[in-house]
Amino acid sequence: MRAALWLLALFGVAVAVALFAGNNQGTVTLFWPPYRVDLSLNAVLLILCSVFAIVYGALRGTAALLRLPRRARRWRLQQKERAMHASLLDAMSQLLAGRFLRARKAAESSIAQESDLSQSLPIPHGKQLRTLAHIVAAESSHALQDRTTRETHLQQALDSIPPNASTSEQELREGAQLRAARWSLDERDANAALDRMATLSAGAARRTLALRAKLKASRMAHLTGEALDTARLLGKHRAFSPAAAESIVRSLAIELINDAHDPAQLQNAWMSLDVNERAMPELSIHAAQRLSQLDGDPAQVRHWLLPVWERMVDPNQSLSQHQAFKLIEVLEANLSGIDAQWLARIESAQQANPRDARLQYLSAVACLHRELWGKAQQLFTQAAPKLADKKLRGSAWRFLAELAEHRGDEEAASQAWKQAAIAVL
């Protein structure tokens, strides 16, 4: 459409010029004594236009000639800038290809070219390019296990961008600090990695990459509490799948529990866990078992096991076979001084599930602590042949043997001891 309008305008101008020049009878007379020159108006206009075109062309040609040195200088600087970018791209390509020595040489070449170019012409993105080249050289030196050269390039990269730089430059500085932390982790220097990450801003420290590095460094430095907090943040950021996040948090919580060396420490560790974490059957059972090992209060052990117990006896919920047997074992070891409320819970669960050998066994142990010998013998007799766990089955026969010895039945005791020995084989 635009081309058609221009064509119409050109035809209009041609028609106007033809009408003006075709019937133009005007003349222009020049008096130069003793001469007189008569020219038509059309010829004068043509001469003026020609003179204007010649003068304009001469001026443009002179200006272009005068600009040649400046254009040549700009062309040379442009070639240097292209060579600088080409060196940096080559360094990154060599780094990705695993040619670390070539990558470092190309990065150092790019740094030298940038330094030479900046003396002649300031580059708007010179800081970022120089910093990135130093990071590539440091990364290559790290792969070559040249720690001295790596630290030199890293420090130069950090010095290239001050802490009060622009946002884009500051992000590059934070990237260099994160890479330095990863290098420390590769060298198994967790304290150095944590020191590196401590220099990050609050926003950068909460990024997923930084949190992953912090989690690894904290676990390496055996800072279980800090590692657990970091794992929780990663779970909230969806850095792991829900199952993986739960597994990591569970393993760290178990490690935190294992680090406790007295009941007070264990109590503090247990209270530092979230409500959802304390509701995990594995953690509850493990914490209760650890408290029992530290000679903690049996009532406190039973209190920690209560949510897991309710889950096991609830028909709408369930525990794995391993967790259920583990729960029975821990409860069995902490039934001394059992109160009537817990005894009622165990009896109610056993009566609601009369064929459950695990509940029969636990109820029998509770009866022993209450000195109900006859009922205990009856429940042990029912549970012993049906228990799937070797340890519990052997323990049930052992209790039957002791009860038989207590009432003076040597034959029954001998038979029970024999079954106990068979059960643990």
Q: What are the DSSP calls for 224-276, one per residue?
A: HHHHHHHHHHHHHTT-S-HHHHHHHHHHHHHHHHHT--SHHHHHHHHHTS-HH
Instruction: Look at residue 379 and tell me if it is in a domain.
Output: yes
Identity of the highest mean pLDDT range in 7-11, 227-231, 405-409, 420-424 = 227-231
d(CA 416, CA 425): 15
In the structure encoding, which two tokens stand for residue 189, read together?
């220097």
Give the pLDDT score at 138.
Answer: 92
Instruction: Look at residue 113 and tell me if it is in a domain.
Output: no
Q: Comparing C-alpha atoms, which of 257, 258, 209 is closest to residue 230?
A: 209
List, for residues 400-423, the tens digit of each pLDDT value: 888 887 787 787 878 878 887 877
Instruction: Look at residue 29 and tell me if it is in a domain.
Output: no
In the structure encoding, which two tokens stand for residue 399, read together?
């209790």
Give the pLDDT score at 424.
Answer: 67
Long-range contacts of 124-127 (CB under 8 A, 24+ apart): 127/160, 127/161, 127/165, 127/169
d(CA 236, CA 229): 11
**Residue 140's pLDDT band (cuts 50, 70, 90):** very high
Instruction: Look at residue 93 and tell me if it is in a domain.
Output: no
List, for residues 71-102, the tens digit of each pLDDT value: 888 888 788 888 888 998 999 999 999 899 99
List, for residues 318-353, the tens digit of each pLDDT value: 778 888 888 888 888 888 777 778 888 888 888 888
CATH number of the domain that residue 355 is part of: 1.25.40.10
* pLDDT > 70 in the chain, percent: 97
Angle at Cα 292 formed by Cα 286 and Cα 293, nearest 5°? 90
Q: Comparing C-alpha atoms, which of 190, 191, 276 is closest to residue 236?
A: 276
DSSP string for residues in 2-66: HHHHHHHHHHHHHHHHHHHHHT---EEEEEETTEEEEEEHHHHHHHHHHHHHHHHHHHHHHHHHH
Helix (H) or strand (E) holding 223: none
Q: Is the pLDDT of residue 218 over 80?
A: yes
Q: Would you give the end-to-end CA distance of the chain in angstroms? A: 97
d(CA 375, CA 327): 22
Q: What is the mean pLDDT of residues 382-394?
A: 81
Residue pointed to by tokens 């304390």: 278
Q: Taking each helix axis as running N to C, give the angle between helix 340-352 and helix 298-313, from 0 to 180 degrees, rounded to the nearest 10.
A: 20
User: What are the counts of helices (DSSP H) followed by strands (DSSP E) for the chain?
Assistant: 21, 2
How many CA atoms does the CB half-sphere of 324 hold within 13 Å? 19
Give the pLDDT score at 311.
Answer: 85
Instruction: Look at residue 423 and tell me if it is in a domain.
Output: yes
d(CA 89, CA 296): 64
* pLDDT > 90 in the chain, percent: 9
Average pLDDT across the chain, whole number: 84
Q: Is the pLDDT of residue 11 over 80?
A: no
Structural domain harbouring 369: 335-425
In this structure, the dihedral spanned by the alpha carbons of residues 132, 134, 136 and 142, taken in order and rounded to 10 degrees, is -150
Give the pLDDT score at 21.
Answer: 64
d(CA 296, CA 268): 13
Instruction: Look at residue 389 and tell me if it is in a domain.
Output: yes
**Residue 425's pLDDT band (cuts 50, 70, 90):** low
**Residue 136's pLDDT band (cuts 50, 70, 90):** very high
- Three-state DSSP class for 162? coil
Give the pLDDT score at 137.
Answer: 92
Instruction: Look at residue 38 and tell me if it is in a domain.
Output: no
DSSP state of 122: -
- Three-state DSSP class for 120? helix
35 forms bridges with which residues in the sheet? 32
Residue pointed to by tokens 């020191």: 195
Instruction: Look at residue 355 and tell me if it is in a domain.
Output: yes
Residues 108 and 135: beta-carbon distance below 8 Å: no
For the chain, what is the domain count?
Answer: 1
